[in-house]
Structure 1
Amino acid sequence: MPLTEDQIAEIAELRSTSQPTMRATAPGMEQHLYTAHEVLDHGFVRVIDYMGDDAAIVQAARVSYGAGTRKSRDDSGLIRYLMRHWHSTPFEMCEIKLHVKLPVFVARQWIRHRTANVNEYSARYSILDREFYIPAPEHLAAQSTVNNQGRGEVLTGDEAARVLEFLKADAGRAYDHYEQMLSQEGQQGLARELARMNLPANIYTQWYWKVDLHNLFHFLRLRADEHAQYEIRVYAETICRIVADWVPAAYSAFEDYRLGGANLSGKALDCVRRMVKGEQVTQETSGMSKGEWREFEALLS
């Protein structure tokens, strides 16, 4: 269960009350405030707070006040220009604070993005819940034979059952020992900060993660990509849907130029120009390595 009964009650209470404000609000984001969007088997993403909207990006770019006589399409055009030419500062005027519940191994991958403010649930002071990420059968896959970082064919039959049993049994056994080390009848027990080292990487943790829109877009560009690991990609995709409601013009530009766009090297761009002229270009005549050429072909197809 991603949310406890206490958390559900807290969210209901928060959403049932509102406060008057003079600051700009985004109607789409207001609908997401405090609501938990379930991810994986026990995880979630929920918006705790946010600042700014599409207008804040435009205002910062123009360093002006008020909408004046400009039309919304003019603002959208400016945002697209900023995104197209990699202007980052105006997007930093918007911020979002998320409450995320995620497996520890996903958190270790996520924390590589060092441009956010993070405060994680502490297992030094508190006892972690008995909740583990166990992949659905369709997400159990063998190592890819062409990509050292990726997955290959999905496991089936006895092999899938064997792996699932290991994951469940090992996680349960490790947590049993964790509990037993903390305190037992007639024993002093081990400190929480030491006992936690026996926990598996698929146990769930939680944190508050605050980031500006520019750095959030960088995170989403990498983690919402189809080549990203599934377990972090589903979190990124959930955040994408939230951001699309928060700053629709900025997200549309991001989707077009970053998620749906591509960067070409000088050699790749030269190959495209030659192809447009009708020349037959091969890996041998491209000046690219086999790996570069394979990625280039995948991009064109």
Structure 2
Amino acid sequence: MTLTPEQLAEIAEARATTRPTLRATSEGMERHLYVAHEVLDHGLVRVIDYMGDDAAITQAARVSYGRGTKAVQNDEGLIRYLMRHWHSTPFEMCEVKFHVKLPVFVARQWIRHRTANVNEYSARYSILDREFYIPAPEQLAAQSTVNNQGRGELLEGDEAQRVLDILRDDAMRAYDHYENMLSQEGQKGLARELARMNLPANVYTQWYWKVDLHNLFHFLRLRADAHAQYEIRAYAETMCGIVKDWVPLAYAAFEDYRMGGATVSAKGVEVLKRRLAGEAVTQESSGMSKGEWREFEAVWG
């Protein structure tokens, strides 16, 4: 992805302008403010605004008038307690507004998270750019034989090149027709709200996405997971780096209890107790289905 000189100048101007404030700021987040982080071939993630920091979480939990305790270890312990016991409200005190440029098919996955405020670029009002997501060769894979919504082995050689050519040619042809339908040279030109329906799902759109930290963590837990689709995972991983700098104590707890943790069912707890007591437990004697047992063994051996 390459930003235009005008866009780079706009970002530089925004970062050069400082304003005095009494509200809490995060040094880590200030470094990310307005900066365009490149994702995929034409995408980006930018922080437009944010509210709160680690101290805002603990302040809300204690309902204090100021910073509360100044001991970092106490704040860290409280944040870990809140995360461990699924106390979500204090994390909702922090908010962030992202500017995201992403392919339409990724946006349709993303919008399933209905806990944010979204304003998308309007193709009824404006004309979309000639920008499409074309996967890198290492991301071209066949349908998985064990996962109905996942990828399997990589495509190689002539087959991979044939798919790339089809994706590129179809996208360009669709955009050519889009421009032709919009054109008012010798014709009235089709309305933008109708012409857009001819564009493919890999065309890029943009939106502002504002979300609180609790719901952002939920988004990242699902979309930065290794099982998530690569394209949306690329955005989630970029956002993970930003959030880690913004609220380092909260992000460390999130990594520990959500990303690196595991949820165990009541049956799973019972199996673990029986194992610790020396019993050899099988799937048949566990009370679990084959699928649940397979997932249990993947974590617990």
Query: Same-fold call, TM > 0.5?
Result: yes
Distance 1:63 1:258 in 2: 25
Instruction: Give the drift of 1:266.
Output: 1.3
Matched, 1:4 2:4: yes
Give the match for residue 283 of structure 2.
283
Give the match for residue 47 of structure 2.
47
Judge conservation of contact 1:92–1:213 (CA < 8 Å) in 2. Answer: yes
Taking only the aligned residue pairs, the percentage that are identical comes to: 80
The TM-score normalised by the length of structure 2 is 0.98
Judge conservation of contact 1:2–1:43 (CA < 8 Å) in 2. Answer: no
Where structure 1 has 5 or more consecutive residues not aligned to the other structure, the ranges are: none
Q: Secondary structure at the match of 2:49?
A: strand
Q: Answer with 119-128 or 267-276: which moved more.
A: 267-276
Equivalent AA in structure 1 for residue 247 of structure 2: V
Distance 2:127 2:192 in 1: 7
Give the match for residue 246 of structure 2.
246
**Correspondences of 1:171-210 after superposition (within 5 Å):** 171-210=171-210
Give the match for residue 85 of structure 1.
85
Structure 1 vs Structure 2 CA RMSD: 1.1
Where structure 2 has 5 or more consecutive residues not aligned to the other structure, the ranges are: none
Distance 1:109 1:78 in 2: 34
Provide runs of 4+ in structure 1 moved above 6 Å: none
Instruction: Give the drift of 1:184.
Output: 4.8
Equivalent AA in structure 2 for residue 242 of structure 1: I
Instruction: Give the drift of 1:2.
Output: 4.2
Instruction: Give the drift of 1:4.
Output: 2.5
Judge conservation of contact 2:62–2:68 (CA < 8 Å) in 1. Answer: no
Q: Answer with 265-274 or 44-53: which moved more.
A: 265-274
The TM-score normalised by the length of structure 1 is 0.98
Judge conservation of contact 1:100–1:206 (CA < 8 Å) in 2. Answer: yes
**Partner deviation per Cα, 1:17-44 (whole Å, 9 max, x = no partner):** 2111111000000000000000000000
Give the match for residue 25 of structure 1.
25
Distance 1:282 1:36 in 2: 52
Give the match for residue 113 of structure 1.
113
Judge conservation of contact 1:2–1:44 (CA < 8 Å) in 2. Answer: no
Judge conservation of contact 2:59–2:68 (CA < 8 Å) in 1. Answer: no
Aligned length: 301
**Partner deviation per Cα, 1:206-232 (whole Å, 9 max, x = no partner):** 000000001101111110111111000
Equivalent AA in structure 2 for residue 72 of structure 1: V
Give the match for residue 67 of structure 2.
67
Q: Answer with 214-223 or 66-75: which moved more.
A: 66-75
Distance 1:201 1:39 in 2: 17
Distance 1:56 1:15 in 2: 24
